[in-house]
Structure 1
Amino acid sequence: MDTFDLYDLRVEVICPPGARILCGAKPGDYFTLQGEMLHLPPGQGFSIYSLGSVLPLLAAKQRVTHANDWMTTDAEIACPDPNCPSRLKIIRTGVRTFSHGEVTVVSLQGADEDSPEGR
């Protein structure tokens, strides 16, 4: 069996009511992540700086984590501009199943040889 599961994610902008937002975001702006594909709603942009602040966390948020892991519970990321009060909230919205053989050319046996258990 070569399948694995990843969470679909929604990353949504949260803004304090009445606050001056400097990154160009509006409350409720969002993008979704399904597998490796990032999707924006038609006509909506997203700051590359805000995107850069959240990108390193998305692969981990897509995976099943231990209940006590901070990655399971912590979901809000500050805007990278220290003067902007907006936040990005990462929400797990569903689960998708993928096939190892459909997303890479590296065989499962080849991966076992490189793992600590396979040495």
Structure 2
Amino acid sequence: MSEQTFTLYDLRVETIEGDRPFVCSHEVGSGFEVRGENIHMDAGKPFSLYALAALLPLLPPKQRPLNEFDWMATDHVIACPDPHCGARFRISRIGRQVVRRDDTTVEPLPENNPWKE
């Protein structure tokens, strides 16, 4: 068993009010959680497919430790992709887990990893 581990944060994405009325079908407070690679939607509450599509690229970086000067470490409120809609989505870290590399891949770690800092 490998002792190679990394940290992932669990996230909560929640619909909040912006400075304009909602145009889309968003509901304040509706959202979902991201735990590991899985999305857990709020039971019985809708969440816009288009908003989800806009948020998805931001979630994996938000799950990882970030440099304090990286904009991803400070910008947590995301606008609805519809430019006429006032909805916003707040991304919050709600937990932390240590993940074993062996549980996520069968690919061996390269000797000269170009991604290592």
TM-score by length of 2: 0.88
For residues 112 and 76 of structure 1, do their structure 2 counterparts lie closer, same or farther at Cα, with a shift above 3 Å needed?
Answer: farther
- CA displacement at 1:117 relative to structure 2: 7.5
Matched, 1:7 2:9: yes
More helix by share: 1
Following the alignment from structure 1 to structure 2, what is the Cα–Cα distance between the partners of residues 59 and 67? 17
- Can you give the 5+ residue segments of structure 2 that lack an aligned partner in the other structure? none
In structure 2, relative to structure 1, the CA distance for the partners of 1:112 and 1:75 (3 Å cut) is: farther
Match of 2:42, as an amino acid?
P
CA separation in 2, counterparts of 1:29 and 1:117?
36
The code of the aligned residue for 1:39 comes to: H
The equivalent residue for 1:40 is 41
- Provide the residue aligned with 2:114 in structure 1: 116
The number of equivalent residue pairs is: 114
Indicate the residue corresponding to 2:105 in structure 1: 104
| Contact 1:23/1:50 (8 A) holds in 2 | no
- Backbone CA RMSD of aligned residues: 1.8
Unaligned runs of 5+ in 1: none
Which consecutive segments of 4 or more residues in structure 1 shift more than 6 A?
Answer: none
- Amino acid corresponding to residue 84 of structure 1 in structure 2: C
After TM superposition, give the deviation of residue 20 of structure 1 in Å.
3.2
Residue type at the aligned position of 1:71: M
Among the aligned pairs, what percent are the same residue? 42
